[in-house]
Amino acid sequence: MTITLQTIIFALLSVVVLGSALFVVTTRNLFHAALMLILSFFGVAGLYVLLESGFFAVAQVLVYIGAISILFIFAVMLTRGMVAMPRVNAQAQLAALVSVLLFVVIVVIVNPTALSIKVLPGASERVLGGIPWQFTTVTTITDSYIKQFGASLVDGSAYLLPFLLAAVLLDIALAGAVQVARERRPAEVLAERELMAAEAAEEQQREQALDTAPETVLAADHH
């Protein structure tokens, strides 16, 4: 494998992505972890650029840095003791197992040895001084890939169903989150507490009834 500008950039980006990811899991300050996660996302956007898919690089920045990270930071601000979190918790081993499994699955599916490394015709003309800009390509990617992508999203024989399902999925996610995290009015909270208190009282009464006359009630139940 020859060293090109691409391989150098790829190496730098890998260091950024992996280094910041390592920082994310080792730091005890949740806010710092979120910031480093943003840096990691940024590096991944760079990898998309190297793969000649500018749209997904920009999408990565817009969605992951511009939206998901902000969501993370807002979620960080919902936790208690965000500057000194324990480094490991009960699920650490499970998480490690899942990560390893995921890695194996990705390697099996992508199968890097089957990737053919070929430089597109005319690639050397794509500036940066005679050094081919392409890194690796599986299929020929042209500038019209955004158009193809868009057309296949609404094409009934291509990705229409997943596309619409994604929209519905996002709706459901929103509905669930609204239900869980919605700030309730004091009156609602009070009503809920009253309801719970009433239920608890009822429960207690029933238990008392069972305590006082267990045989008869049980007998009645059996018949």
Partner 1 sequence: METAVRTDFGFVGVMFVTAFLLMAATLYAASLLRPKKPNKEKLSTYECGMETVGDTWVQFRSQYYIFALVFVLFDVEVLLLFPIAVAFGSLSLFATLQAMLFVVILLAALLFAWRKGVLEWK
Partner 2 sequence: MDLLNIINNLLKIIGDWIYGLVHGLVGNLLVTDLITMGLAAIILCTFAALSFMGLTYAERKIVARIQDRIGPNQAGPFGLLVPIADGIKMFTKEDTTPTAADRWVYNIAPLVIATAALTAYAVLPLAPGVVGTNLNVGVVFTIAIGSGSVVAILMAGWGSNNKYALLGAFRTVAQLIGYEVPMLLNLIPVVLIAGSLSLVDIVNVQSTLNGSPGIPFVLYFPVSALIFLISGIAETARSPFDLLEAESEIVAGFHVEYSGMKFALFFLGEYVNALAVSFMFATLFLGGYNGPIFPPYVWLLIKAAAVFTILMWLRGTLPRIRVDQMHTMNWKFFVPISALNLIILLLVAKIFQPGNAAMPWVTPGVQAMATAITTLIPFLAGLSIASRRLRSQRDAAEALAETRRAANRAAVTTSMGGAH
Q: Which CA distances in Å does 182 have to 92, 175, 211?
A: 30, 10, 41
Interface positions, 21-40, toward partner 1 (CB under 8 A): 31
CA torsion sign for 172, 173, 179, 182 is negative
Place of tokens 């972890």: 33
Residues in Cβ contact with 29 at an 8 Å cutoff, skipping those fewer than 6 apart: 82, 83, 84, 85
Q: Closest approach of Cβ 74 to partner 2, in Å? A: 8
Cβ distance to partner 2 smaller for residue 62 or 138: 62
Pick from partner 1, partner 2, none: which does 61 bind, CB < 5 to 8 A by kind? partner 2
Q: Closest approach of Cβ 193 to partner 2, in Å? A: 28
Give yes or no for a contact between 55 and 61, defined as CB atoms under 8 angstroms apart: no
Interface positions, 83-102, toward partner 1 (CB under 8 A): 83
Output DSSP code: residue 81.
Answer: S
Token pair for 166: 């994604």
Instruction: Report CA 220 to chain centroid distance, whole Å.
Output: 54
Name the site residues for partner 2 (rule: CB under 8 A).
Answer: 5, 31-32, 35, 38, 54-55, 57-59, 61-62, 65-67, 69-70, 73-74, 77, 127-131, 143, 146-147
Name the site residues for partner 1 (rule: CB under 8 A).
Answer: 31, 49, 54-55, 57, 59, 62-63, 66-68, 70-71, 74-75, 77-80, 82-83, 126-128, 133, 143, 146-151, 153-156, 160, 163-164, 166-168, 170-171, 173-175, 177-178, 181-183
